[in-house]
Structure 1
Amino acid sequence: MWELRGLLNEITYINTIMPSPRNSPKNSRDRRALDNRLEFLSLIGQKSPSPPDSPSRRKDYTGSSGSPQTLPEEDCMKLNPSVVDIALRSLLAIDLWASKQLGVCAGESSSWGSARPLMMLIEVSGHGIPWLAVTLYGLCKSDSSAWCEVLLNLLFALVLDLVLVAAVKGLVKRRRPAYNRMDMFATVSVDKYSFPSGHATRAALVCRFILHHFVLALPLRVLVILWVFVVGISRVMLGRHNVTDVICGLIIGYMQYGLVEYFWLSPVSAPFLFSLCS
């Protein structure tokens, strides 16, 4: 229908500009002008006429070819990432690369696979269950109020560490490295997550607690500090954690000791607990 109407309009228009025999162009200049008009009309006639635009179509056309529409804010952020975003992504890539390079004891076939049993022994030394068991045993055998106070606060520190680490792991939910073998000693549901390293937080917390409340010779104090770093390094070598998990774990454990000192349990603040120990 639209093609027939367009053809009729074209014929009518050609008849209006076509000269009659009496008014045919006399010179070559008028003939060339007439030929150019006819050629132009023939080119226009090759295009099929389109139906008139509806309001909705006119709106879409205006939106597509008119003024440029602004992109959503999320797309703009993806196209123009901030400096902070680029820096964080770069640090994450470096963290993953360095952790994989240092995971030399992740399996028996790894480059340092023969040292895996030793690393797993160090893993047990930083686990929460042995420390809780030793602390409870010391409380049962203590016959001094001062010794009981120290051990009771150490128990409080260990329980606080377990609760805080489990909460952070549940919030962050960072998966452990893909090359890690889930053969860890006594794990629970939140242990499938990686950030932060519970062994690192516990080691830093226990180290600071021991150095402040236990009387040790200088060689023993140095060994306690070295033990903290050995535990942290073993977590990366076994493929249990990434480097940032261990570093942040050490920082969190160091800061947790401040909470223990702030909420220090004494016979005055917690008489019921000390009555159980006596």
Structure 2
Amino acid sequence: RLSPRTDSGGKPRGTHLVSQSRSRPLLSPPLQDGCAEAEEAAGPGGLSLVPPSLPEEGRMDLNPSFLGIALRSLLAIDLWLSKKLGVCAGESSSWGSVRPLMKLLEISGHGITWLLGTLYCLCRSDSWAGREVLMNLLFALLLDLLVVALIKGLVRRRRPAHNQMDMFVTLSVDKYSFPSGHATRASLVSRFILKHLVLAIPLRVLVVLWAFILGLSRVMLGRHNVTDVAFGFFLGYMQYSIVDYCWLSPHNAPVLFILWNQQ
């Protein structure tokens, strides 16, 4: 703003610039830098062609991956369905009266039950063919216990919230849920029996039904989620392939059979 300067006689002598610092404050350095960036990005006519970028910590992931959404949806469905099927989780549940029968079925698929039974039959067997089959069944059961314990220790998925910790003979890793050891054992043993025992068709159907109902009972008792049992069935099925590939016989493991024969 120009202001006239007068002398002692009141006549104007010239003009000078009057500071406008009190009417308009100066821009702070950060704002000046922002204005400079905006001017550089401005197009013809002073219009900005590039929108101002948000700070790094203020940005939001507006495009989550499809895999992440699918996994979260699968987990939600798994938890919801497992809770709906847990009809024997407690005495006050809708099927609470069937709980003792389900716990008896739980014992029939327990690892200790199968280990003790296999050892007893192995001691009573007097044929090399029977000992060979029972020796490999023992190997399969030990492999199953090792693999399931390893995966449970790595994944560390907690059991469902509606489960009651009144299980038959639990170990340290049994507080974890994934995968279901009963389901892996049911799948492994049923495939083993159907492969190496000569059974009539009704008995073969009973073996398959036992494996399926045992896996279902784990969800009904609230011991496991549906995905724990489903993966357990798959894992047990694949474990038998390992046992079949590493089949122990007097030809490839003669020392083992000789030592057992001397007992």
- TM category (shorter chain) comes to 0.7 to 0.9
Partner residue, 1:172: 155
Q: 1:182 to 1:49 in 2, by over 3 A?
A: same
Looking at secondary structure, tell me which structure has more strand per residue: 2
Letter in 2 for 1:164: V
Where does structure 1 lack aligned partners over 5 or more consecutive residues?
1-13, 24-37
Q: How many residues align?
A: 239
The answer to whether the 8 Å contact 1:63/1:69 transfers is no
Partner residue, 2:133: 150
For structure 1, which segment, 186-195 or 61-70, has the greater mean C-alpha deviation from structure 2 after superposition? 61-70
TM-superposed deviation, 1:68: 2.6
Task: Say whether 1:272 aligns with 2:255.
Answer: yes
Q: Secondary structure of 2:4's match?
A: coil
Q: Secondary structure of 1:175's match?
A: coil
Q: Distance in 1 between matches of 2:77 and 2:105?
A: 26
- The one-character-per-residue Cα deviations of 1:7-37 (angstroms, maximum 9, x if unpaired) are xxxxxxx6xx2335656xxxxxxxxxxxxxx
Q: 1:79 to 1:146 in 2, by over 3 A?
A: same
Q: 1:267 to 1:101 in 2, by over 3 A?
A: same
TM-superposed deviation, 1:70: 7.2
The answer to whether the 8 Å contact 1:104/1:110 transfers is yes
Partner residue, 1:120: 103
Letter in 1 for 2:190: C
Partner residue, 2:15: none
Letter in 1 for 2:82: S
Letter in 1 for 2:53: P
For structure 1, which segment, 145-154 or 111-120, has the greater mean C-alpha deviation from structure 2 after superposition? 111-120
Q: Distance in 2 between matches of 1:214 and 1:169?
A: 31
Pairs within 5 Å for 1:235-274: 235-274=218-257
Q: 1:63 to 1:104 in 2, by over 3 A?
A: farther
Q: Distance in 1 between matches of 2:212 and 2:80?
A: 21
TM-superposed deviation, 1:80: 2.2
Q: 1:62 to 1:141 in 2, by over 3 A?
A: farther
TM-superposed deviation, 1:69: 6.1
**Could you tell me which of 56, 62, 75 is aligned with 1:92?**
75
Q: Distance in 2 between matches of 1:182 and 1:116?
A: 14
Partner residue, 1:207: 190
Partner residue, 1:232: 215
TM-superposed deviation, 1:62: 4.9
Q: 1:136 to 1:175 in 2, by over 3 A?
A: same
- The one-character-per-residue Cα deviations of 1:76-133 (angstroms, maximum 9, x if unpaired) are 6x44211111111111110011001111111111111111111111111110001000
Partner residue, 1:45: 22
Letter in 1 for 2:79: L
The answer to whether the 8 Å contact 1:139/1:277 transfers is no
Task: Say whether 1:161 aligns with 2:124.
Answer: no
Q: Distance in 2 between matches of 1:110 and 1:205?
A: 31
- Alpha-carbon RMSD across the aligned residues, in angstroms, is 2.9
Normalised by the length of structure 1, the TM-score is: 0.78
Q: 1:63 to 1:206 in 2, by over 3 A?
A: farther
Q: Distance in 2 between matches of 1:61 and 1:149?
A: 86
Q: Distance in 1 between matches of 2:36 and 2:96?
A: 64
The answer to whether the 8 Å contact 1:196/1:249 transfers is yes
Looking at secondary structure, tell me which structure has more helix per residue: 1
TM-superposed deviation, 1:277: 3.0
Greater Cα radius of gyration, structure 1 or 2: 1
Letter in 1 for 2:179: P
Q: Distance in 2 between matches of 1:185 and 1:141?
A: 27
Letter in 1 for 2:194: L
Partner residue, 1:19: 4
TM-superposed deviation, 1:170: 0.9
Partner residue, 1:9: none
Task: Say whether 1:68 aligns with 2:53.
Answer: yes
Letter in 1 for 2:22: G
Partner residue, 2:118: 135
Where does structure 2 lack aligned partners over 5 or more consecutive residues?
13-17, 38-51
TM-superposed deviation, 1:71: 4.0
